[in-house]
């Protein structure tokens, strides 16, 4: 395997090719001009001290030296070093509510965007832990399996929106069951579930399911997103412009409020803590402190090939060619004796 730090330097080969073509044309013009310097004997006498074979070799050394110099400048990296890596941490699943009520704007810019921001902060603080994501509304599904690739996890979080699940509602108990199935079965501890929602539970069985998960070694923390006063639920068009607010069947505007009591009960049943984002205070720091204090397990131990810089090898070869060109003689050892033009 080979990689390059500065692949754009390869563009210099285009300039080098243009220079070679130019030199070839100039060389052909010089040969044509020298043919007019008298007959063959005169030209042979004029260049009797020059060894043209060595001149060609010097030219080749120069060109190849430049080729290797450009290649060294690209920063070639070759995977030749094997390194053992051991990662220790816990498995963290975030169950994120993506129902339409999460578009409420009592927490700016919206409940869902605030939740996504805090998940991003959580990811940036992870060190060795694996993270996954479950999204839920009227149903739930595993959106991101447990992974240690934090860059990919952040991309998945950024792509979350309230249109992901068409079935509206808040099936919180279903989300808890989906999360349990996403954890590895062989481990009965080192497992954390963080449920982020405004607390609406249209099924009413979330607390019982939380107790079941706690009995199987899953610690559940809850994060309430919203305020007790609540907010209207905006409706957007395809261009993302607000067109109206959600109404019930009788035509009255629907106000979504934070069900903080429900979320606290879930956290208590799951052996965890509960925090709240109300637009003025609250963050994931308290949850993260509890997670970092947990006992860690070895999540992954493997060997992988690490790229190492190898530009110095090509630089040394280029230096050798330039040095050889510098010391390479172009004068003939023996010199023919001039005996006159007509002899």
pLDDT per 10-residue tile (average), the chain, 343 residues? 84 89 78 61 61 75 88 82 68 92 88 92 89 91 91 93 81 89 78 89 77 91 90 80 81 86 92 85 79 76 64 88 79 57 48
303 part of a folded domain: no
Give the count of beta carbons closer than 10 Å to the beta carbon of residue 6: 11
- pTM (2 d.p.): 0.63
Containing structural domain, residue 233:
91-295
151 is written with which tokens?
């860059």
Please tell me the predicted confidence (pLDDT) of residue 343. 45
CB 330 within 8 A of CB 50: yes
Total structural domains within the chain: 2
Q: Are residues 187 and 316 in the same domain?
A: no
Peptide bond connecting 109 to the previous residue in cis, omega within 30 degrees of 0 = yes
Q: What is the CA radius of gyration of the chain?
A: 36
Residue pLDDT, tens place only, 200-230: 765 668 888 999 999 988 999 999 998 888 8
243 part of a folded domain: yes
86 part of a folded domain: no
336 part of a folded domain: no
Q: Are residues 226 and 259 in the same domain?
A: yes
Strands 218-225 and 191-197: parallel
CB 325 within 8 A of CB 58: yes
Q: Are residues 233 and 133 in the same domain?
A: yes
108 part of a folded domain: yes
Please tell me the predicted confidence (pLDDT) of residue 303. 54
13 is written with which tokens?
């080969």
> Could you give the CA distance from residue 146 to residue 301 in angstroms, rounded to a whole number?
16
CB 308 within 8 A of CB 78: yes
Q: Are residues 48 and 191 in the same domain?
A: no
Q: Are residues 70 and 119 in the same domain?
A: no
């Amino acid at each position: 395997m080979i990689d390059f730090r500065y692949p754009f330097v390869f563009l210099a080969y285009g300039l080098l090719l243009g220079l070679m073509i130019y030199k070839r044309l100039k060389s052909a013009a010089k040969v044509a001009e020298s043919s007019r310097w008298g007959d063959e004997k005169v030209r042979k006498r004029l260049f009797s001290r020059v060894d043209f074979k060595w001149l060609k070799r010097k030219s080749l050394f120069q060109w190849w030296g430049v080729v290797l110099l450009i290649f060294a400048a690209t920063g070639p990296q070759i995977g030749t070093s094997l390194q053992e890596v051991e990662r220790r941490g816990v498995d963290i699943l975030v169950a994120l509510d993506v129902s339409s009520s999460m578009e409420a704007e009592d927490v700016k810019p919206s409940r869902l965007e605030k939740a996504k921001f805090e998940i991003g902060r959580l990811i940036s603080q992870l060190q060795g832990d694996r993270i996954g994501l479950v999204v839920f509304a009227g149903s739930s599904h595993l959106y991101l399996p447990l992974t240690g690739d934090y860059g990919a996890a952040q991309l998945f979080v950024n792509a979350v929106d309230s249109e992901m699940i068409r079935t509206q509602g808040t099936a919180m108990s279903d989300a808890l069951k989906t999360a349990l199935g996403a954890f590895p079965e062989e481990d009965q501890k080192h497992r954390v579930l963080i449920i982020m929602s405004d607390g609406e539970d249209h099924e009413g069985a979330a607390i019982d399911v939380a107790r079941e998960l706690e009995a199987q070694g899953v610690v559940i923390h809850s994060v309430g997103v919203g305020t007790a006063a609540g907010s209207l639920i905006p409706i957007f068009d395809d261009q993302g412009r607000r067109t109206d607010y959600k109404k019930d069947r009788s035509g009255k505007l629907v106000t979504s409020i934070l069900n903080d009591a429900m979320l606290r009960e879930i956290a208590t049943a799951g052996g965890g803590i509960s925090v709240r984002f109300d637009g003025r205070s609250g963050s994931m720091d308290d949850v993260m402190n509890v997670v970092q204090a947990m006992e860690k397990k070895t999540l992954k131990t493997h060997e992988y090939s690490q790229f190492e810089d190898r530009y110095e090898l090509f630089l040394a070869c280029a230096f050798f060619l330039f040095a050889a060109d510098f010391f390479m003689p172009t004068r003939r050892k023996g010199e023919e004796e001039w005996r006159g033009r007509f002899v």
